[in-house]
Copies of this chain bind each other. A is one copy, B any other.
Amino acid sequence: MIDQLVAGIKKTEAPIVVGLDPQMKFIPDEVKNPVFDEMGETLEAAGEILFRFNKAIVDAVCDLVPAVKPQIAMYERFGIPGLAAYQRTIDYCKSRGLVVIGDVKRGDIGSTSEAYADAHLGRVMVGEREYKLFDADFATVNPYLGSDGVVPFLKVCDAQDKGIFVLVKTSNPSSGEFQDRLVLVRAGEFDEDAGGSIDTAFFTGKKNKGGLSLESIVLAAGKDGLRSYVLRPMYEIVAEEVARWAREPRLMGKSGYSEVGAVVGATYPEMGKVLRKIMPHSFILVPGYGAQGGKGKDLTHFFNKDGLGAIVNSSRGIIAAYKQEPYCDKYMPENFADASRAAVKAMRKDIREAIG
Contact = CB atoms under 8 A, between A and B. Distances in A.
B221 A214 contact: yes
Contact of A205 (B21, B116, B118, B201): B201
Contacts of A213: 226
Interface in A19-75: 21, 23-24, 32, 36, 41-43, 45-46, 71, 73-74
- If over half of A's interface residues share one DSSP class (helix, strand or loop), that class is named, otherwise mixed; here it is mixed
A122 to B, nearest CB: 9
Given A187-B211, A201-B217, A203-B203, A131 B79 contact: yes
B179 A182 contact: no
Contacts of A77: 115-116, 118-119, 124, 133
Interface in A269-291: none
Contacts of A174: 145-149
Interface residues of A, number: 98
Contact of A80 (B83, B107, B200, B206): B83
Nearest to A36: B127
Contact of A116 (B43, B76, B113, B212): B76
A208 B201 contact: yes
A302 interface: no
| Residue of A203, A213, A234 with most partner-chain B CB within 10 A | A203
A172 B151 CA distance: 13
A203 B220 CA distance: 12
A84 interface: yes
A125 B118 CA distance: 31
A134 B129 CA distance: 28
A39 to B, nearest CB: 10
Interface string A7-22: 0000000000000010
Contacts of A210: 187, 228
A207 interface: yes
A112 B148 contact: no
A221 B142 CA distance: 39
A321 B216 CA distance: 55
A179 B146 contact: yes
A212 B207 contact: no
B172 A146 contact: yes
Q: Which 9 A-B pairs have the closest CB atoms?
A: A201-B205, A211-B228, A146-B174, A41-B127, A146-B177, A201-B212, A109-B172, A73-B115, A77-B115
Given A24-B125, A78-B119, 11 more contacts: A23-B115, A41-B126, A71-B108, A73-B108, A77-B115, A110-B172, A142-B144, A149-B174, A177-B241, A200-B204, A202-B202
30 contacts: A41-B126, A41-B129, A43-B126, A46-B124, A71-B108, A74-B112, A74-B115, A76-B133, A77-B118, A77-B133, A79-B119, A79-B133, A79-B134, A80-B84, A80-B87, A82-B119, A105-B106, A105-B107, A109-B172, A143-B144, A146-B179, A148-B175, A177-B241, A199-B207, A200-B204, A200-B207, A201-B203, A201-B217, A201-B220, A217-B217
